[in-house]
Amino acid sequence: VSVTAAAASEVSFVPDPSSALPGETANVSIWLDSTEGVFSFDAEIHFDPAVVNITDASAGDFPMGFGMGHYGNYVILGGVTSDFNDKPAGHWLIANLTLKAESAGTSPLNFNPSKTYLGNQNGKRVPATWNNGTFTCGEVSPGICCLCCLDCPPGTPCEYNPEIHTQEECTAAGGL
């Protein structure tokens, strides 16, 4: 008789990698794919404050007691289910984060494994894989387009190069 161990729950940043231009913000969510019941979470996320700052967080499916503490180069988040019962195995939103791009560079978004965990309503830790993420703050080059043309209606001039109106023109001009 062989016994197959259950897969661990998994926590990830979405999107990953994430990015923004200096001074802009990006919205990043933290998602849980659980293989068993989960009642609570605590997460400590480290980042490079010269590149990015986590400026805000809002609760997902663990809203009771939800909060964020900011400590310079890391934040601490936590919350529990609204009914104080385990969420069943499934896809659950832990939190939505607002990241502000500070200056050009790349920063890890790293969960501190010694202070990041899931718990069930019986007070036991739920095994999980916490996938670290990456945030990139890009530089704006005058005359070169960025991905803004992907979000604009067709024919809208690029705010960085008014001669560009499509993604194809952006690529041909050496943009992103």
State yes or no: cis peptide before 108, omega within 30 of 0.
Answer: no
Structure confidence at residue 13 as a pLDDT band (50, 70, 90): very high
Structure confidence at residue 138 as a pLDDT band (50, 70, 90): confident
The answer to which of 35-39, 42-46, 154-158 has the lowest mean pLDDT is 154-158
Q: Which residues lie closer than 8 Å to 114 by C-beta, 6 or more apart?
A: none
pLDDT by residue (tens digit) across 60-111?
Answer: 999 999 999 999 999 999 999 999 999 999 999 999 999 999 999 999 999 9
Longest C-alpha distance within the chain, in Å? 68
Quote the pLDDT of residue 84.
95
pTM for this prediction: 0.77
Quote the pLDDT of residue 111.
98
Distance CA 105, CA 147 (A): 17
Residue 157: both structure tokens together: 């001039």
**Residue closest to 57 by CA, chosen among 81, 27, 16, 25:** 27
Distance CA 52, CA 138 (A): 11
Structure confidence at residue 159 as a pLDDT band (50, 70, 90): low
Structure confidence at residue 24 as a pLDDT band (50, 70, 90): very high
The yes-or-no verdict on residue 7 having pLDDT over 80 is no
- Cβ burial, residue 162 (10 Å; 0-12/13-18/19+): exposed
Structure confidence at residue 175 as a pLDDT band (50, 70, 90): low
**Residue closest to 109 by CA, chosen among 40, 58, 42, 54:** 54
Quote the pLDDT of residue 151.
55
Distance CA 23, CA 35 (A): 38
Distance CA 145, CA 9 (A): 40
Q: Helices marked H in the chain — which ranges?
A: 148-151, 167-172
The yes-or-no verdict on residue 143 having pLDDT over 50 is no
Which residue is it, tokens 């990241």? 99
